Amino acid sequence: MRILFIGDIVGRSGRAIVTQRLPDLIRDWKLDFVVINGENAAGGFGITELIYHDLLAAGADAVTLGNHSWDQREALVFIDRAEKLVRPLNYPPGTPGRGVALIEARNGARVLVTNLMGRIFMDPLDDPFTAVEREIAACPLRLGADAVVVDIHAETTSEKQTMGHFLDGKASVVVGTHTHAPTADHRILPGGTAFISDVGMTGDYDSVIGMSKDEPLNRFLRRIPSGRFEPASGPATLCGLAVETDDASGLARRLAPVRIGGTLEPAGPAFWAA
């Protein structure tokens, strides 16, 4: 199976490159399943129902969230009817929406998608390790699902790497999100799980983690807020991770970082080239 995970979309610039490029990537790379982190898609903070449907129309099979899940208040309402929108699994019981979804891929395979939020330097949610262990035990790789994709939305590299090792051999892909800067540690772990500490953002990199530079510069230099953070609006780089899994085991066979457009050095899965 061919899986593409696209990192945190930031604002209009990030949305634009996804809608422009994703349909061609699905066709050219013969993608079976696409997951997008959309928690910064609406002006850099949260997601709206219209944006969610625009991402599905562009080719997303699942959209994950994170610490900005509820920044757009309408998300609290529409998430219950958005079957492919996955918020962090370790929110307390009774939180709207779902933290896991079993979704059919283009090739008919069953893909379990879950979203976790880290707890170091973030909101003190329920234990993500216990939460994901419970869900994967209920729908294990090869028995309940043909592939398992985990988005660990966390601040620290250590927490994300620990989650990767914890799920090694139990998940097809464990992708770190949230810090908006792509790391170079993409690899297949010893048990067969594809991993990267942070896939990076899909947005304008002539910025400070996707936001226009003036306000962050002002706050760091003068320690006084002068306005709102606004998403940078220049050409975006689409950042992601391309993974090919083995149909028999559900584990990763090959992987490659993806960087398309904008200012970062281009990268992609040469092994899928036509």
- Residues labelled as active-site residues: 68
Kindly give, in sequence order, each residue whose CB lies less than 8 Å from that of residue 51, ignoring residues fewer than 6 positions away. 15, 38, 41, 42
Q: Would you call 168 helix, strand, or coil by DSSP?
A: strand
Q: In angstroms, rounded to a whole number, what is the distance separating the alpha carbons of residues 193 and 190?
A: 7
Q: What is the spatial distance between Cα 262 and Cα 274, in angstroms, rounded to a whole number?
A: 23
Which residues are paired to 4 by β-bridges?
Answer: 34, 242
- Describe the strand order of the beta sheet including 110-117 as a list of residue ranges: 100-104, 110-117, 147-153, 173-177, 194-196, 187-188
Can you tell me the distance from the alpha carbon of 70 to that of 93, in angstroms, rounded to the nearest whole number? 16
C-alpha–C-alpha distance, residues 21 and 58, integer Å:
9
CA distance readout (Å), 225 to 167, 185, 220, 256: 41, 35, 9, 39
Alpha-carbon distance of 34 to 146, in angstroms, equals 15
Beta strands in the chain (DSSP E): 2-6, 33-37, 62-64, 85-86, 100-104, 110-117, 147-153, 173-177, 187-188, 194-196, 238-245, 252-260
